[in-house]
Structure 1
């Protein structure tokens, strides 16, 4: 039985969003105020610990159980020549994840995180969205439900990642559907396409936007029309995390586009989410600005797999280490300001 029976049921779930625990965040702030440092001298590190406390509902917050969820899907639009790699690479990379040989395996280990890969019907690519909706209602809801159910109980933090040849085309099409500007605004080089392929990618996106113009006003139907299964699953995982008050780190352009429909449906829907990094994919900065998200890192990364957000977990661990390990002025017998 699918978790969401209809677009209407999913839409309602996207509007039923719990808020964070303001008292827990206040307790975090009170401790920060008496640690042996000038006020706010650790900048965003202090804000991040408050954010963790707000959504975990505890002070101090914890990063004992960090879950990296990588969703993989295949895209029919690759038939239009929009990617530098063939579609079979998706399944090959999933096998590489299983064998421990990908970048995300190493980064998950370094970040002290559990990596789980969820492959979504790799033998059945989505439809070519220049000819038909990428997914019908049932297919889309199944993928959203798979992502929703992938978020485990008791997680302290969820990191969203993806793998799918052709998915920067889907992400760009979805971003354009949600925020306007067409292929020229959001299409980038993805896995490294040349100028000719980039022009083709932009034209493909514009054709898709024209074909599905009647449905693009609804963010969920837009995600079904021009998205992909792994994008839908990330949306579902982000929604589950919100319902369970689990903070989320978003990875790059594809992950950000995947969760953007939530923000278009409800202001504040991504308050429990933080952008792990700024991707080198050209449109990621534009999309983050549209969503009001400020990335933690800018390392010129564009791999996907959750890799940039996995590195950002180390920043969160540094922030939490300072918060829990530092002495207070009283404990250290250090004179406070004005003393």
Structure 2
């Protein structure tokens, strides 16, 4: 019989693996435009993004607290439930990464948690109100906000630089894009790394609530606070994952939606950063993928609607819609498999 402490350790390891996958899956969010415009080579860009992901990840825990306590009561969540949620999210992330589709790691994790909780304790055990308020409404509003901000910001930039020579605009916008790419990487870390922090904290709280022992008190959450070791472990995992790259999705984000210029890249990344940092401060686990994809569409549409390859954009939106139910389905099946393996521990 596998001990609950062993299961907890397994959950933590898989959560960090998910965070690592999240890093290389979402690396394109921060660096696709800066690579596609030639401002930085891929290797330099991913290293810089990884460092800034780490810094962003240690700046707050509001989103982690939402994940840890907002979607299900810890007493209803076992270690196997958390493990199934992570497996479901990882499967969807790897599938979409393989096909170069920029889907949401955040929504994959939340969908996985929903599927695992429902499989374990029934439909009523999951907090659907939190899903609506913190996920589904932002799922619609955050891309719309990013698209609108990017569209208007791009128009304002074009008006401001209209009197400058094209070569001057090109040189200046390349420098500005380097700054905006760094801000985007920082904001990505500030939101996405917290998802794994929240799931590990949920596992720790569940472990303690169930009356199990074996974990040093200094490593356990105090109230709703995320332990410091969890923050730094997840920050390191997503940073290293980002440094591993994600060239398949970089190609989609940086070239297939529109042929992007440095000025457009600066506008898209600045708008995306503003949207994501606002959500992080509010504790809302938005999709950085959705935000930056919408921002890229926004700057493209500011030129002309036909500049955006709406067929590619439609495929991305379809992935947005499918992510939560697909990852929930994978997690549901994973729980059934894990229950067969672990028996009463599930």
The normalised TM-score by structure 1 is 0.30
**More RCO (CA 8 Å, sep 6+):** 2
The normalised TM-score by structure 2 is 0.30
Bigger share in helix: 2
Bigger share in strand: 1
